[in-house]
Amino acid sequence: MDLDKITPLVIYDNQCYLCTKFAKVVNFLARGKLLLVGHYTKIGEDLRTQILDSSALEMFWFVDGKTAYGGRAALGPLILAIIQSKGTGNSELQDIDACSMECKNTKAVFVRSASLLTHSKRLAITSV
């Protein structure tokens, strides 16, 4: 997979209601110019096996072509990419009605928010 053609991109949990809402906010702020990929899509699975590690499903990721930023580490580069975005996008966001983790309640919002702040990772991308 040629990352130069699809980056910058955001990889998010497309089976989680809150994560999908987060991705919709990112898509709105970026005016659809970032590619958003669900963890459980074909492209998401390919990206996880090629450039991410075993902690891939614990957080969302921002990939700029040279580095994959996960969780808290992704917030700064994501904000910069939203401001500077010139990409074409191609996001396929799906509404999730049934979430197996009961992620539509207040507790889930706090758990996911805490997870965002406690998980952080940077991975250098060599060649794919």
Looking from the CA of 37 toward its CB, the CA atoms found within 13 Å total 22
Domain of 26?
A: 3-124
d(CA 75, CA 78): 5
pLDDT tens digits for range 67-105: 999 999 999 999 999 988 765 555 555 544 445 556 677
DSSP H helices, 7-118, are: 17-29, 42-51, 72-84, 106-118
pTM equals 0.80
What is the count of structural domains for the chain?
Answer: 1
Distance CA 60, CA 86 (A): 21
pLDDT digits (tens, 9 = 90+) for 11-55: 998 888 888 888 999 999 998 889 999 999 999 999 988 888 888
Is 52 in a helix, a strand, or coil?
coil
- Tokens at residue 82, please? 């939203």
**H or E segment at 61?**
strand 61-63
